[in-house]
Amino acid sequence: MNRCAVLQMASSPTIDANLCEAARLIGEAAKAGAGLVALPENFALMGEHEGSKVEVKEVDGAGPIQDFLARSAKKYGIWVIGGTIPLAGDDDRKVRAACLVYNDQGERVGRYDKIHLFDVNVPGSDEAYKESNSIEPGSTPVVLDTPFGRLGLSVCYDLRFPELYRKLAAQGAEILVVPSAFTAKTGAAHWEILLRARAIENLCYVLAPNQGGLHGNGRETFGHSMIIDPWGVVLDVKKTGAGFAVAGIDHEHLETVRAAFPALQHRRFSE
């Protein structure tokens, strides 16, 4: 089995401090035997306001956050999924929320731009979010080959849109990755339910690194970073605090479940 880890952080408005914390956790996960490590959404910056990410955006292919991810992957000889980082897009007033994947040589091998943007008022609270004020949405699902299986990439609010995961499954995804910054309120209500549903209905492993804790901007995130198998079993979870969950990806188990319960072959609607 190939062991994977999902990191949990409570990122601050200070990039250097966040990268130090991420470096510590990546090192600990690698020491625990993880060959793939996934960081949460906004791991390098949870800014004071939505526009903070625009102020520190990097051009595609160059910048301290991207350098950190490449360096970490190469240092430990592991694959690293870089949650999201703010990359320059077409609109100078906005960024792309880009999930970047690096191989064990430190080479970037994949990029997914978050498609669904979190423009909501959270019921029963005074929380309101408008990601479209500072983020340009992506439009293309991404699946890529790795030694751990075919990865289907997604980010946070994407989790509520099962049609995206059907497209990823149709492209051969075996592992769904969902780096997130789920709020405490929505997380308590829906986080595990939605993650397990995506695993079950697509017969995939799910890697779900999440932000977890109180942030400098007053936001509280849910934590409970977890790894789920294709039958919907939670293999490991980091409920609170900084740290990680780790578990193996068992391809024999994946193939057995899919062969015995071929739901993906029984679909009657392709869209």
Q: What one-character DSSP code corresponds to residue 266?
A: G
Q: Which of 4, 58, 94, 156 is catalytic?
A: 156
Active site residue 238: no
- Angle, helices 64-76 vs 15-31, to 10°: value is 20
Q: What one-character DSSP code corresponds to residue 271?
A: -
Half-sphere exposure of 166 (CA within 13 A, CB side): 12
Whether 188 contacts 17, CB under 8 Å? no
Whether 105 contacts 74, CB under 8 Å? yes
Active site residue 107: no
Residue with tokens 């191989």: 103
Q: Which of 114, 131, 192, 238 is catalytic?
A: 114
Q: Which of 21, 41, 131, 136 is catalytic?
A: 41
Integer Cα distance of 133 and 38 in angstroms: 27
Active site residue 41: yes
Whether 184 contacts 213, CB under 8 Å? no
Q: What is the 3-state secondary structure (H, E, C) of 105-161?
A: CCCEEEEEECCCCCEEECCCCCCEEEHHHCEECCCCCCEEEECCEEEEECCHHHHHC
Whether 5 contacts 148, CB under 8 Å? no
Could you list the active site residues? 41, 114, 156
